[in-house]
Amino acid sequence: MAITAEEISRNHSLISGFIDSTLLKTDATEPDIIKLCKEAEKQRFRTVCVYPYYVPLCRAILSGSGVDVCTVIGFPSGMTLREAKVLEAEKAVEYGAQELDIVMNMGAAKSGNWTYVEDEIAEIVRRTPQALHKIIIETCYLTDKEKAVACAAVLASGGQMVKTSTGFGPCGAVVEDIKLIREAVGDKAGIKAAGGIKTFEQALAFIKAGADRIGTSSAMQMALYSL
């Protein structure tokens, strides 16, 4: 049975199972990544989320720990070449990534070329069947109608989760978008809230609204809140 927001309110440590502990700073070093992994293992976070370059290091540290390795594909705009995104995804999985946070092609989406968006995601999903695919729709750039269309594209392409944001746009996750996405996908896909989530209270609000996963670079602050 899934953990509820009410249960997390009573036992704050349960938040750890929702957290993708994220480090996507351009200047992140190997010692930073090692620290991230060791903290994630100790706190039993759901995943660490890092750039593809650091996937092998994270997998070596976290193998057998119960903490999965997540990486980003086509980050942060999604507008790299389709063939490059597919190859990036394939290699990331080959090197140890278990989850892929894939940025949909924002240029194609804003141009109304949803067939391209859907086909590209579907190809990545098809070529990396062993991975969990979380599709970043970057809600800050979309109208509510476009958000609903993006969710439909994720479902049609075989993506398993919709992720709100990269954290690199002008705005991150907002509770209203979680509610909109949940209405659009129902129980057919999970939801990851990300971007600007820094406190336990914020994370809990997103979970109450329907989020299944929280992407944050402030994972330890949330974990320490539970002590």
- 85, 134, 147, 192: the catalytic one is 192
Task: Tell me if 19 sits within 8 A of 46, measured CB to CB.
Answer: yes
pLDDT at residue 224 in the model: 87
Angle formed at CA 74 by CA 70 and CA 79, multiple of 5 degrees: 160
pLDDT at residue 227 in the model: 54
Q: What is the pTM of this model?
A: 0.96
Query: Of 222, 217, 142, whose CA–CA distance to 174 is shortest?
Result: 142
Cβ-based neighbours of 38, under 8 Å, separated by 6 or more? 61
163 is catalytic: yes
pLDDT at residue 226 in the model: 58
pLDDT at residue 109 in the model: 98
pLDDT tens, N- to C-terminus, the chain (227 residues): 578 899 998 899 999 999 999 999 999 999 999 999 999 999 999 999 999 999 999 999 999 999 999 999 999 999 999 999 999 999 999 999 999 999 999 999 999 999 999 999 999 999 999 999 999 999 999 999 999 999 999 999 999 999 999 999 999 999 999 999 999 999 999 999 999 999 999 999 999 999 999 999 999 999 988 55
101 is catalytic: yes
Written out in words, the top-level CATH class of the domain with range 5-225 is: alpha beta
- 85, 134, 147, 163: the catalytic one is 163
Task: Tell me if 133 sits within 8 A of 102, measured CB to CB.
Answer: yes
> 172: which 2 tokens?
């991150």
Q: Which helix (H) or strand (E) holds 190?
A: strand 190-194
> Domain map of the chain by residue range?
5-225
85 is catalytic: no
Which residue shows structure tokens 């190809």?
A: 123
Q: Which helix (H) or strand (E) holds 154?
A: helix 144-157
Rounded Cα distance between 199 and 188, Å, is 28
- 20, 68, 85, 101: the catalytic one is 101
Diameter of the chain by CA atoms?
A: 48
